Amino acid sequence: MSKILDELDALLLDWECGELNDAGIERVREILRTDEAAQAHYVQQQMLIAAMGLEADSGLQNPLPIEEKQSEPTRSFSSDLTRSRRPHRRAGYWVAVAASVAFAVMSARLVYWEFFGETRTGSMAAVGRDSGEAVESTSQGVALLTRLVDVQWDDQPAMEVGEAISPGRFALASGFAQVEFFCGATVIIEGPAELEVVSPMMAKVRSGRLRAQVPPAARGFSLTVDDMTVVDLGTEFGLSVSDDGADVQVFDGEVELQSPAAPIRRLTAGEAIKRTDSGEFEQSTIQPERFLDSSSMASRAEGQRQQNFERWKAWSQSFRGDPRVIAYYAFDEPSDWRRRLPSTKDPSTTLDSSNTPNQHDRELDGAIVGARQVKGRWPEKGGLEFKHPADRVRMQIPGEYSSLTFSCWVKIDSLDRWYNSLFLTDNYNQGEPHWQILDTGQLFFSVRVSSEDGGPEHREVLSPSFWDPSLSGKWIHLATTYDVPNQQVVHYLNGSEIHRESIPDHQLVPVTRFGPSTLCNWSSPLRPDAHFAIRNLNGSIDEFAILSEALDAEQIQEIYEYGKP
Amino acid sequence: MEPTGNIESPRGKSERFVRQLTEHQNRLYGYVYSLLGDHARASDVVQETNLVLWRKIDEFDPEKPFVPWAFATARFQVLAHLRDQNRDRVLLDAELAESLSGQVSDQASQIDSVRQALRGCMQRLSEEHQQMLHSRYSTGKPIAEMATISGRSVSSIKVSLMRIRRQLSECIENRLATEADK
């Protein structure tokens, strides 16, 4: 690389940081005026930054946050708070502006045109500017992934059902994916397939077999193959793209084929046409059975779901016999629980003081207060929904332990409270753990160090924020391990580590205990700090366990893999 | 007399227009940003451009490519912005912007491919480098702050950022080139 380009890069970085003085600006201009290679380099670098801005805004490449520093003392709370809120200023701003202008143009234009025949632009500008100010959380998806059957991904990160698809490459090595575009079109894609999702109304197809169902509201949805565009006029059609051409088959309704070289063609139900790789059109016959339709897709997905449920059930059966289980609630009986949350821990694993199996396992049953019984991750199993400040499950967990693992499957609707409880002991005495989520979306774990005021402060282990609105209403797995010998706390989301922190000697509590405790709420409103004593979760839970050992990453991953719906 | 079938209704036209405008926002942003080198100003100018385009909807011809029309409009907006004497300092002068505008439109038309390539290239960076880019370009953290957090000097952060950027743009260029060969 030439010296000039190095110099230009340094100047541009200074400019970007707002540190470039007049002489520097003049130097940039001079370089660009005289050096053609520098011009090309400039354009390339700027496009990279623009692209990064767009990416940042789409939230796509948000690498797992690495812990920035471990030495922060317990009062780091507020700085974590500000750190974890992802500022959307710059790039986010323009997207909101663009979207609002487009929307305002669309809606106002239509209304004005129809009723007044003409429209003024002044008010439009105001609308665009005002709504642009609101830094609203944006979701950059253009489609939703709604079903997956036996999917292997092709050189791209694995995606889960319910995830939004952003513009870009979407490729399956095998299996079936059902994608619902935000315009309303549903497309079933059979791998191997490669697409480029462009907008809520459009995707480019490089290869693969697709079936698109386009209700009237989504008319105009189009798929393009090279320079040919298949525009849907409200219909159901199949498109198969391979090296020797593109095959379009219309099962219902009508589609329009547009390509620069040929006049627009319309195909109606029962017609099929093939465009060879040389660009010629040939009649062909329709074979709807070659394209998986949505009801077969549904039954295949259902089959897989059933299979997953059976797998989880088998896993859960063996898990409840694990001697490390302190308490376990599988919520596996969908029947009426008579306001009791039955403990699913295998009683024979509990040894009482005389070393005989403890038969009084019912002691661990939780008492449901308020919380509503709902369906869990699978309709065959139950869950509990917490909505009101009083909703809770009370439990009484005897014994003393050391290291711990907390694991639960939870569906969070929103984080309304300052502290949103997962599991809290009533009194928070010495050795008692608190496990909750802050309104910033950070997972929080602490163990009380000393019962006396003025004793050493407890250690708040906060993960970076894992929450974003796209997780709302989705079943997620959360786990935290408290490892006494290694003096570490580790937080996990969906089987992956999100934070790890060492506990210094003076904040390490070797003996842990629970006693009267509460799931998804707190039962200690009499404390002086009662102003934030309302800690009920706004969401549902359908599996919860505490173990007397800090599980390692692999074991947490296993719980997640078996429990994934 | 009733309008004949081949005259599109105003509603259909504005729908097509909005669809095009929305679809090409990223390209417009890439174009404007590259000539201004500033996110906040680029946002403003893109917004102005959107409004101007909309006011000129009568000139909008669904049969003609949208992007060149939008870029031409954006170009005027950028030049007007640069010529405005009351502005704070700007990076390029109008003359330079004009002479770069051709190259910029070429690059900006393919910004979606750039983004796609970027995603792949990001994955190849070390986690530490990804994290640096994220701090700087997603959360907009000042370099001084990044330096304090990581315990490094400002100039060493700058040198790293420049290297990572260089590495990324080379990777992107390669990817785009292979893409074009396919």
Task: Give chain A positions within 8 Å (CB) of B122.
Answer: 61, 63
pLDDT of residue A203: 93
Name which of B14, B46, B108 is nearest A109 (Cβ-Cβ). Answer: B14
Task: Give chain B positions within 8 Å (CB) of A96.
Answer: none
pLDDT of residue A107: 43
Q: Scanning every residue of chain A, which has its alpha carbon at the shortest distance from the alpha carbon of B41?
A: A90
Confidence grade of residue A360 (pLDDT, cut at 50, 70, 90): very low
Q: What is the pLDDT of residues A260-292, one digit of tens each?
A: 777 888 888 889 999 887 878 888 888 888 888
Nearest to A503 by CA among A540, A469, A535, A459: A459
Confidence grade of residue A240 (pLDDT, cut at 50, 70, 90): very high
Instruction: Give CA–CA dist A354/B85, Å, rounded.
Output: 89
Q: What is the pLDDT of residues B80-102, one digit of tens each?
A: 888 875 667 889 988 899 999 99
pLDDT of residue A300: 84
The answer on pLDDT for A530 being more than 80 is no
Confidence grade of residue A130 (pLDDT, cut at 50, 70, 90): very low
Strands A202-214 and A222-225: parallel
The mean pLDDT value for B59-73 works out to 89
pLDDT of residue A411: 94
Least confident of A85-94, A257-266, A392-401: A85-94
Instruction: Give CA–CA dist A480/A32, Å, rounded.
Output: 54
- Tell which wins on pLDDT, A293 or A455: A293
Instruction: Give CA–CA dist A491/A499, Å, rounded.
Output: 5
A58 alpha-carbon distance from chain centroid: 13
Size of interface A-B (CB pairs under 8 A): 206
The answer on pLDDT for B146 being more than 90 is no
pLDDT of residue A177: 94
Name which of B26, B122, B173 is nearest A61 (Cβ-Cβ). Answer: B122
Confidence grade of residue A551 (pLDDT, cut at 50, 70, 90): very high
Q: Enumerate the β-bridge partners of residue A383.
A: A374
How large is the ipTM?
0.92
Q: What is the pLDDT of residues A144-192, one digit of tens each?
A: 898 998 899 988 888 888 888 888 899 999 999 999 998 888 999 998 9
Instruction: Give CA–CA dist A291/A310, Å, rounded.
Output: 29
Distance from CA of A280 to the nearest CA of B (A): 21
Least confident of A172-186, A346-360, A512-526, B160-174: A346-360
pLDDT of residue A455: 65
Asked if residues A459 and A446 have their Cβ atoms less than 8 Å apart, the reply is yes
Query: Chain-wide mean pLDDT for chain B?
Result: 85
pLDDT of residue A159: 87
Task: Give chain A positions within 8 Å (CB) of B21.
Answer: 102, 105
The answer on pLDDT for A135 being more than 50 is no
Under an 8 A CB cutoff, do A13 and B161 touch?
Answer: yes
pLDDT of residue A354: 45
Q: Tell which of A22, A31, A33, A46 to mutate to test the B interface (max B CBs under 10 Å).
A: A46
Full strand arrangement of the beta sheet holding A366-369: A340-341, A366-369, A392-401, A512-519, A419-425, A433-438, A442-447, A461-465
pLDDT of residue A532: 47
Query: Chain-wide mean pLDDT for chain A?
Result: 79
- Tell which wins on pLDDT, A533 or A249: A249
Under an 8 A CB cutoff, do A168 and B100 touch?
Answer: no
Confidence grade of residue A370 (pLDDT, cut at 50, 70, 90): confident
Q: What is the pLDDT of residues B19-41, one digit of tens each?
A: 888 889 999 999 999 999 988 88
3-state SS assignment for residue A85 = coil
Largest CA distance in chain A: 90
Q: What percent of chain A has pLDDT over 90?
A: 33
The mean pLDDT value for A524-553 works out to 77
pLDDT of residue A509: 92
**pTM check: above 0.90:** no
Q: Scanning every residue of chain A, which has its alpha carbon at the shortest distance from the alpha carbon of B166?
A: A45
Tokens of A263: 């006049």
Least confident of A32-41, A444-453, B46-55: A444-453
- Tell which wins on pLDDT, A401 or B173: A401
Q: What is the pLDDT of residues A375-388, one digit of tens each?
A: 899 988 889 998 88
Instruction: Give CA–CA dist A165/A156, Å, rounded.
Output: 12
Instruction: Give CA–CA dist A181/A250, Å, rounded.
Output: 19
Confidence grade of residue A500 (pLDDT, cut at 50, 70, 90): very high
Asked if residues A436 and A420 have their Cβ atoms less than 8 Å apart, the reply is yes
Q: What percent of chain B has pLDDT over 90?
A: 20
The answer on pLDDT for A72 being more than 50 is no
Distance from CA of A468 to the nearest CA of B (A): 15
pLDDT of residue A525: 47
Confidence grade of residue A76 (pLDDT, cut at 50, 70, 90): very low
The answer on pLDDT for A541 being more than 90 is yes
Under an 8 A CB cutoff, do B165 and A48 touch?
Answer: yes
Asked if residues A362 and A372 have their Cβ atoms less than 8 Å apart, the reply is no
Tokens of B145: 């702050």
Nearest to A54 by CA among B36, B118, B109: B118
The answer on pLDDT for A97 being more than 50 is no
Distance from CA of A98 to the nearest CA of B (A): 6
Under an 8 A CB cutoff, do A9 and B15 touch?
Answer: no
**A175-195 as b/e, with b when 16 or more CB fall inside 10 Å?**
bbbbbbbbbbbbbbbbbbbbb
Q: Scanning every residue of chain A, which has its alpha carbon at the shortest distance from the alpha carbon of B172?
A: A48
Quote the DSSP letter at residue A78: H
The mean pLDDT value for B74-84 works out to 88
Tokens of B70: 């939008």
- Tell which wins on pLDDT, A160 or A406: A406
The answer on pLDDT for A87 being more than 70 is no
Q: What is the DSSP string of A258-289?
A: EETTEEEEEEETT-EEEEETTS-EEEE---GG
pLDDT of residue A85: 33
Nearest to A513 by CA among A422, A434, A409, A407: A434
Q: Which amino acid makes up residue A483?
A: D
